[in-house]
Structure formats: structure tokens, C-alpha cells
Structure 1
Amino acid sequence: MLTKTPYSFFETTAIRPTGWLRRQLEIQAAGLTSRLAEFWPDIRDSAWIGGKADGWERVPYWLDGLIPLAWLLDDEKLQATAKRYIDGILAAQEEDGWICPCEDRGRYDVWAYLLILKVLVVYHRATGDDRIEEAVRRALKCLDWHADGNTLFGWAQTRWYEGLVATLWLYERTGEDWLLQLAAKLRCSGFDWKEFFGKNWPYETVTAKTHWGQFNHVVNNAMMLKGQALYGRISGDPSDAAFGEHAYNTLMRYHGMVTGIFSGDECLDGDSPFQGTELCAVAELMYSFEHLFAASGDAKWGDRLESVAFNAFPATFTPDMNAHQYDQQVNQPWCRFNPKPNFGTNGPEASLFGVEPNYGCCTANMHQGWPKFAESLFMRGEDGIAVLAYAPATLETEVEGVPVQVALDTAYPFRDSIRITVSCPQPVRLRLRLRIPGWCEAPDFGMEGRAEDGFFCIDRTFTGETAWTVTFPMEAKLADRPRQAKALTRGPLVYSLYIKERMEKQHKEGEPWWMENCELYNDSEWRYAFDLADPASLRFEEHEIGQQPFSAEGAGVSVEVPCRPVAWETDGLVPADLPGAPTGEQVILRFIPYGCTLLRMTEMPNLAEK
């Protein structure tokens, strides 16, 4: 039997994004998410739909974000694209249930097999397509047989838990015991992350440059955080449920960034703000946080989700989401082709913006972040509804057979208030849990209720339309960072020095246009330190949120911060971790949300502190 989780996900179509979140999803829909099918061979000509190009992880990665995006926006064109690919995948499923295009099953890394099954579950959640259950059942039955003679290897070995998403989904629908037995096979054939993160975990220090490995691979580490929580539903072992917290704290202790992500360029690379983090890891970490909350009900996963979603995730794209980086840096004064990068294993183009900089996995996997975040704002509990994260959206569901609508009208995280409206045509008892942000010292929920395990619980009968305002006062703080550096935070947002950028496209003779990446040159000074005696003295200025919410021009808030210029040495295009002495008098500089920047300085010493 499976243990029940405190929370589960609503159907995709139950949630309607509004405000800046809808606009952000529309930007994504007009950007690479829709365009890849027009020109990128690994999507357009994929073996998944009968072509000759990549038939492994890239189409499943892409569909994993395209599908929820299409149904959140009710975008008929995107829906038709998703259906065309799903129809092709289902039509090509072999008689025995095998579902991946390959010529030699024995040598096939079934990571893509596990991934496409998760995608089919995502498609069912969005559409309710009645073909999916039987297709997943046949595919898992084939995998069960395959696993007896072919132990997991390669990426599937370190990502075995991704197969649990479809396995547990089908078990909840059918109750067939062989599915739990298959889950045990995956667990025992896969890499034991829980044992690995014991007392002999080897990555407290950074491994040698160019030393690539599966076990310190940043994406694997972002993914695996949810693995034991998923398996814990089968094992019932409390240590499985607790593992995600332990592993995340360990990663952040030695490799953490102020944005809530850990470094990895492409493997774990310490806590210097000049190291990078791969985009795939950012998207996958958000997904892990969403599952970890559903499994535990622990409110702090919501804090962590917001930190990554509002800071690290948008910062790695151009504002129109037509280009992205492979690696982002917390301190990023330029994005230049660097023949001697300071990245652990990534190449000279990893920080450039383009369609496929460095390697194409992020091109395929970047699409799930915003849609799955929107899907996870509201969670279904056994006795009510929880708001895990705050952004403008409306939930439409039923409670005891009565249609209920819960609307969040807000410019959060750029503002501190949320207008909540509950609408229902007849009286209904509703238990609504609102997450209490861990950073907020004096929240005002504007309604009678009580604090309960990190949530404010409102338990009452609603009828007609009931509206009230929740306020989360935000205080500016200088967060302590390694090497006596500081970072400016306020509420869920990290603030960075805005550096003006100049974009120059690389020309690659004989290559298609989409292989031409863009370098960013700084057109304003970056070598500064804070000179801030009291963060409470800062005055944040609110602006209208622009058509591109995560852009320097569209930023909904900014602040003027006293700083001083400092000497900051570089080794070629690699800045030193620490600056030298001040070189001038105090100046007042503009800081904007980290996620609105392309170039930035975020972690710097504070000269006003002794």
C-alpha cells in the first residue's frame, strides 16, 4: 500500500494564471517553447515522430513544459502541437509496450523511457485523454520485464526515481501490486543517493577542474532531492521522507547561492558567486521542491520554491525567452566567450545567450519551470486547499460538490499585498491554508484564523463572494555570504547591481543561425562594494510592471543603494573572488531584482561594516 501525501496537484485546467504570471507564460509561448518545433532538428525532426534526429531525452524534456503551458493558456496552437507529438509517440508504441525509439534495447539507457512516461502523466493531467492510462500500463509492464535482464546504467541509474512518477500514478488508479514491485526494482537497481549523502559524502570540497561525474552532476543532485520522498510512500520509512531536507541543506552548506540554488557548472563547484549553475538544474530544483511539499506539507519548501522561481530561474533568459544561458552566475559582470573559463567542466560558451549554448539539454529542458510553478500555486489537501506560493492566478474547483473559485490578485513578489477572493454560489465549509513566508516577521492575514505548521489556516463557511487583503511586510536585509560578502534581499527577492549590457552576436561560418550565440559586454562599471550602514534606511521605489516582467525596463521595483568603487582584479575574464581596497568616494547605484538582470553584481563586501 501507498502512504497518502498531505497534498496533491490539481488538474492543469483548474488553474488560470492572471496578471504578470499570465504575461510571463505568454512570453514563453511566443519564445523558444513554440519556435523549437519549427527549426531545431532535435524537436522538428525527432525520431520520436518518425524523423532521423535525436530520439532520446530532448522531445520528452520539451513536452514536459510545452504541455502544461498550452493548457494553462488554453492556447489552441500549442495544444495542437502537443497532441501531434503525443499521437505520434502513442502510435509508435510497440506491441509489447516498449515506447522509446531505439534499435538495441539491451544497450539503451532507459532514462528517456522513464522521462516519457512522466510526460504522458503530465499530458493526462492536462487533458484527461483516456488513451494514456493503457499506454502507460503497457509501457511499465514492458519495463518491468526489461528490468529483470537489464539493470539500470548511465543516466537512468542516477535518475531512477523519475520512473516513480508514472508508477505511483498508475498504482493509485489500478492498485496492481506488480507496480510496487517494479518500483522496488528501480530503487534497488538505481544509485543509492540516501547512503551516498551519509558521513562519507565526498563533495564538501570542490573536485579538480574538468573532473566530470554523475554523482556531483548538478542536475542529478537537483532531481534526486525528491526521489526518496516519492519512494517513501512505498517504504513508509521516515528517513526516506526526511532525506530531501538533509540533502538540500548539505548541498547549500558547501555549494549554496543566495538565490536558493547550488552551484554546478556542470558539477558541484563551491560557493563562489563567480561559479555557474546550469539552467536544467534550476528548472529541476523547482520541480523537486513542488513534489517535496506535496509529500511533506512542510511550508519551507514553498519559501525555497519562490526564491528559485523569482530569482535564479528568470535570470538565465533574455526577457523575451528567445535565448538562454547554459550557466548563470550570481556575480556576472559580463558574458563573454572565454577560452579559459572558471567553470568546472563547461566550455567557453556556457555563459553566452543563445538557442543552444554549450550543449542542447537546457534548450529542451528549460520549458517546465514557469508552467509547473503555476500548476503548484494551489495544492489539494485532504480537508481543504493550500496556497503554496503566491502569484496572480485563480483556482476553479469543487468542495463538497459546490463550485468554488479562489483568486489571488497580486503583483507579489514586486509588492507585499495579495487580494484574495473566494467565490461560491451557495454556502460551503472551506479550510484554506495560506503559507506564512519564513522571512516575514509580522504577516497580516486580514481574516480570522490561526497559525498552524507554517500556514495560516482559515476554517469557515463561505457564501457568495468574500474578499480580503493579506499583507507580508518586506524588510531589506544584508544576507551573510561566504568570504565576508553580503547580498541585499527583501522578501523573496534578491537585489543586484544593474549593469548596462551591450549584446554582440557571434558569427559561426558554416553553422545554422541558431548556433550563433550572443556575448554581453558591460557598458557600465561593475567593481563596487556596498557602503550601507543600515539596510532599513533604503527606500524601495515601486514601478508599473512592464510587458516583460523580468527585465531591467519592466522591473516592478528598484532601490538606490550607497556603494563605493573598489579595485577588483581579474585573471583574463575571470574576476577574483574578493576585491581590493576602495578606489573612490561613495556613489548611489540602482539595484533591481536579480531575476530582472542579465549582467549583475550581487554578492559584495560591505565597507560600512567593520
Structure 2
Amino acid sequence: MDFVFANQDSSGWIGPEVFDLTKPRYLWGRYLFLFGVIQLIEYDPSIADSAIPQIWKFVELAHTMLQNNEGMDIWGQTRWGDFVMVLEWLYEHYPNDNEDLLVDTMSLLKANGTRWDEVLSQSVFPTVAVENLPNPFNNPLVWHGVNMAEGLKSGAAAYRYTHNETLLDLMSNGWDLLFEYHGRPSGIFAADEHLAGLQAIRGTELCVIVETMFTGSYLFQVSGDTKFADRAERIAYNALPAQLTGTMWSRQYLQEQNQVAARNMTDNPFPSDGPYSNVFGLEPNYPCCTVNHPQGYPKFVTNAFVTTPDKSSLVHVYLGPFATQTTLANNNNVNVSVDTMYPFADTLTTTINADQAFTYYVRVPSWVPNATIAVNGGNPEAVSPQNGLQSIQVGAGTTTLVMDVTPEITLEQRPENSIAVHRGPLHYAFDISRNYTVLKQNAMQPLAVDLQFLYTDTWEYAIDPDTITFNYDPPANGTLPSPIYDHELPPMSMTVTACQITWGLGGETFADSPPENATCSGSPMNITLWPYGATKLRIGEFPTFKAND
């Protein structure tokens, strides 16, 4: 940050100039830098003294450029909501008595940007993979996965300064359409560059995952609808770790729900991306995910706690081993610490220290039908959340809450009459035995390797969902292994009766769609399902059979 601002152009432009000076300047790459600066200032407010004047120089330049119809290429048009969020943050914290310019800049961005209200309307929203569909908007980026993930914030961002609730409703409905027609049991949607439908062999880009998590956090904060937080939490504990090795030194560009190999693909199933896309490596296919995926968990943790609009109450949004300290209204200093192994345990013990009494809220996920909370050692009482949030009156001093969220095993219907298995926030999959080959090693960092994974055992199974049993083997010392998201490391698993079936490959490297009406070719046996995020080769959508038939 210091380097970028130290080299800021006298006009206010930040970052490098275009290599070809005959080409125009485009704004959108600066949106992302400014998001990073905001997080730094929120962590260390002293940075604001030097950074805010520099940001304002850029904003004034951007306003002039937009007035002159400059600065907006198709990427900036689809991602205009990100810049509006930056401007709204300035409006709330550092307006410099120039609120009118900020709002006018927001309006110019919206006027020159993609009409997401039209893109997300039910009448034109694609219900299948889009590679063979005519695009009615003459802009392929509106069906591009990462732009869709970022663009979903736009209506909510515009709602904040227009107060037009229709924009918020359209974003909410568009979110539902996206996951109805392209969603995955791992929480994310399919987009191997562009929207890819429901088939388990199609891919999802890593950038899509982290951007959707951030969007879910933002949409919850603007709308108050916990469906967005539920989705972001499910993605964080399933889709994101599944696309990284346990050490996080290698990542995929694309992951598959049913993934029987991670290698250079023969008969590539991804229409727009290269055959190296699902190798685990430093920067397979495109380098964008290498620099983008590290935002996923930091922003998730940053948004784990929020205040109510009047700042009188604190909301615990994401369940996990998180902590925060903040000052609420009337100088009420509050510290919160959550002791838990969630999502690999069902109990969360929260210790709250506060100067004054206040109302504390905790999100009760939609997958928790019968949660209980015990306050200060009292008897557990059933929760009765309103709009997904349970309120607890917390007194001055120390308060201890013990929340039990024991969930049920649930099944999700998938294409070809297949099913996916869930318990609480975790999706479960068959972890396919594998070998690995180092394809490439970075000369400057030997931990950064490109890895090929090939299956070494049977993966062609149908399961009898009536036989699923849940297994829990918590660590004796109360500490999870690190990394936790790797082969057979989580303390939770499931056992299910399965039988081997005929299930072909597409080309040499990916599974065909799950066969309907599968017939057993071998005797029933038990197999183990593991949390999806810990699997690197997997079956997550299964054909079914009846073991007793």
C-alpha cells in the first residue's frame, strides 16, 4: 500500500499505467486495491491519516472520468457495485464534507454499469449451462462466474443510497435462481468460466468461491436475511478447502463435485477452460486464483461478528472459533471469545465480557432444527430465533453461553436421481484413494508444487441412504490436527452400505454423470464418507440402491 500511494500519479491515478499509452485507463482493478486498504484501516485506524487523502485524490479523478464517459470497460461495468461499496464506506467514515460528490459518483457507476436487475430477472436467467445459449446482453461477462459472484452485490450496494427496495428484492431472487439452476451441495455454484448447470462433472473456479463468500457476507449485512450467511458458511467449510491442498500451497483452478482425477485432462469437460484446470498447483490455467483465494478466510473471519445499525448490540454471524473486541454504543467495551471445534463439533462455548448490559445475537443456521443455549451454567433452553437470530440478554461483567447445535443428517436430491449427504454445515463425500505425482516445482519456493492425483481404488459406488450412520471421534487432547482438511483427518465421518456398480468415465479423466437405476455388480459393503472439504478426489453425488431388496 505504501509503495502504491508513494507512486500515485499527480492526477490521482493509482497503480501502474497501461503498457500501451494509446489505450485508456480503466477503473475496475483499483476497486480491489481499495478493498484491501479499507481492511488495513479497519485493523489500524492510524493508517487513515496518510491513506484517506490519497484515496480521495483517486475518487475525484474517477468522478471526472465517469462524467466524461471514461474508465469503464466491460469488467468495470459488471463489477461497478464494488466501487460503490468503497464510496459508501468513505461516506460513512471519511466523507470530507463532500457527500454529494460521492453519491454522484455512485450514480454514475450505476448508470454506466451492467443492469444486474435485468440479468437476474427470471424471464432471461439461464436454467442450464450457457455455452450453447445466445446471450441477450451482448456481454459474455454477465454469465461469467466471478463477475456473477461480484455483481450480485450491486443491487444491495445501490439500495443503500437509493433506498429502492426493489433492487434488494431482485438481488435476493437472483441469488435463489443462481443456486436453483447451478448450485452445488458444497455450497457454491458451478461456473467453469461461465455458468455450468447442475451436472456433477462441471467445474467451479476458486475465485468464484471466495467472491461468493464475500458477497454472501455483504448481502446478509444489508438485507438481514440469514440465507446469505448460511450459504457463505457452507461454502467456507466445504467448497473452499476442497480446492486447496491441506498446506494451501497448491490449489485448483476448477473443482468438480464428482472428481476422480486431478490431472491434465483428456477429453476436457470444461468448454472454456484448459485441460490443466483441475491440477493442484501454484497457478494452473490462470494465476488469478493464486492471488485471490487468500482473501476467502480473512474476510470470512472479519465478518464473523457485526454490530446492529444503532451499534447497541453485537451479532455473532459465523459459527466457529472466533473472537472479537469492540466498543458498542455508550462506550460499552465488549470482548467475545468462542471456544469450539465447529464445524467439527456441535458445541460452542462463548465467553462475553462487557462494561454494560446489552443484547447479544447469535445466528442459528437453517440446518439446526433443535439448538439449545445455556446461560451461565443454567439449564439448556431451546432457541426461538427471529429471522435466524437468537437474542440473549447479556449483563455487565462476564457471561458464558453454551450453545448446542446438534444437526440431523439430511439428503439433497441431485440430477439423475442421485443424492448428496449433509449433516449440519458439512457435506459428506467418498474420499477416493489416490496416488500423486509432482508435475512441477517452483524454483524459488519448493513447497509450491503442481500435483497430479490419480485414483488407486474403486470409486464406482451406489449407496443405500437408509443405512447412513454418523461417527464422531473427537481428539483426546481437544485440539484438531493442522491441517484438518485432508485425507481422513476430520473427527467426523459417516458409514453407509454401498455396492459397486458400472459407472463409466468420460474420456480418461472424469466420471460420467451418475447412472440412474444403478444395478449392483458386487455384494453390499460398508464405505466411509468424509467431510467434502477434506477430499481431493471424491464422489459427492451418488446413485442409490436398496440393500435389502
C-alpha displacement of 1:373: 0.8
Number of equivalences: 520
Match of 2:466, SS? coil
Instruction: Write the letter of the residue equivalent to 2:40.
Output: Y
Structure 1 residue 241 and structure 2 residue 163: aligned?
Answer: no
Is the Cα contact below 8 Å between 1:121 and 1:132 reproduced in 2? Answer: no
Alignment of 1:3-82 (within 5 A): none
Alignment of 1:79-90 (within 5 A): 86-90=1-5
Give CA deviations for 1:493-540 in whole Å, capped at 9, x if unaligned. Answer: 0001011221112259999989963210112211101123254xx132
Paired position in structure 1 for 2:63? 144
Instruction: Write the letter of the residue equivalent to 1:137.
Output: W
Instruction: Write the letter of the residue equivalent to 2:472.
Output: E
Q: In structure 1, list runs of 5 or more residues that go unmatched.
A: 1-85
Paired position in structure 2 for 1:490? 423
Paired position in structure 2 for 1:15? none
Distance 1:366 1:507, change over 3 A: closer
Task: Tell me, in whole angstroms, the C-alpha distance in 2 between the residues paired with 1:262 and 1:588.
Answer: 30
Instruction: Write the letter of the residue equivalent to 2:219.
Output: L
Distance 1:429 1:508, change over 3 A: closer
C-alpha displacement of 1:372: 0.8
Task: Tell me, in whole angstroms, the C-alpha distance in 2 between the residues paired with 1:539 and 1:359.
Answer: 39
Paired position in structure 2 for 1:500? 433
Structure 1 residue 567 and structure 2 residue 502: aligned?
Answer: yes
Is the Cα contact below 8 Å between 2:258 and 2:511 reproduced in 1? Answer: no
Paired position in structure 1 for 2:348? 418
Distance 1:379 1:507, change over 3 A: closer
Structure 1 residue 577 and structure 2 residue 496: aligned?
Answer: no
Report 1 or 2 for greater relative contact order, CA contacts < 8 Å, sequence distance ≥ 6: 1
Aligned CA-pair RMSD = 2.3
Q: TM (normalized to structure 1)?
A: 0.81
Paired position in structure 1 for 2:378? none
- 1:444 corresponds, among 349, 372, 392, to 372
Task: Tell me, in whole angstroms, the C-alpha distance in 1 between the residues paired with 2:230 and 2:441.
Answer: 43
Task: Tell me, in whole angstroms, the C-alpha distance in 2 between the residues paired with 1:380 and 1:437.
Answer: 18
Paired position in structure 1 for 2:38? 121
Distance 1:232 1:402, change over 3 A: closer
C-alpha displacement of 1:583: 1.0
Task: Tell me, in whole angstroms, the C-alpha distance in 1 between the residues paired with 2:231 and 2:285.
Answer: 28
Is the Cα contact below 8 Å between 1:97 and 1:138 reproduced in 2? Answer: yes
Task: Tell me, in whole angstroms, the C-alpha distance in 1 between the residues paired with 2:444 and 2:339.
Answer: 46
C-alpha displacement of 1:554: 2.6
Structure 1 residue 134 and structure 2 residue 53: aligned?
Answer: yes
Distance 1:590 1:199, change over 3 A: closer
Q: In structure 2, list runs of 5 or more residues that go unmatched.
A: 376-380
Is the Cα contact below 8 Å between 1:549 and 1:556 reproduced in 2? Answer: no
Match of 1:135, SS? helix
Distance 1:208 1:511, change over 3 A: farther
Paired position in structure 2 for 1:550? 485
Paired position in structure 2 for 1:387? 316
Task: Tell me, in whole angstroms, the C-alpha distance in 1 between the residues paired with 2:85 and 2:37.
Answer: 10
Task: Tell me, in whole angstroms, the C-alpha distance in 2 between the residues paired with 1:521 and 1:549.
Answer: 22
Task: Tell me, in whole angstroms, the C-alpha distance in 2 between the residues paired with 1:472 and 1:205.
Answer: 36
Is the Cα contact below 8 Å between 1:259 and 1:312 reproduced in 2? Answer: yes
Distance 1:508 1:363, change over 3 A: closer
Task: Tell me, in whole angstroms, the C-alpha distance in 1 between the residues paired with 2:395 and 2:513.
Answer: 56
Structure 1 residue 191 and structure 2 residue 114: aligned?
Answer: yes
Give CA deviations for 1:366-423 in whole Å, capped at 9, x if unaligned. Answer: 1101111111111111230001111102211224324321111111111111011112
Instruction: Write the letter of the residue equivalent to 1:348.
Output: P
Is the Cα contact below 8 Å between 2:372 and 2:403 reproduced in 1? Answer: yes
C-alpha displacement of 1:600: 0.7
Distance 1:507 1:87, change over 3 A: closer
Task: Tell me, in whole angstroms, the C-alpha distance in 2 between the residues paired with 1:208 and 1:451.
Answer: 42
Match of 1:108, SS? coil
Match of 1:116, SS? helix
Alignment of 1:179-578 (within 5 A): 179-208=102-131, 213-381=140-308, 382=310, 383-399=312-328, 400-424=330-354, 426=355, 428-447=356-375, 451-463=385-397, 465-506=398-439, 517-535=450-468, 538-544=469-475, 545-572=480-507, 573-578=509-514
Distance 1:429 1:513, change over 3 A: closer
Distance 1:231 1:434, change over 3 A: same
C-alpha displacement of 1:108: 2.9
Is the Cα contact below 8 Å between 2:233 and 2:318 reproduced in 1? Answer: yes
**Greater share of residues in helix:** 1
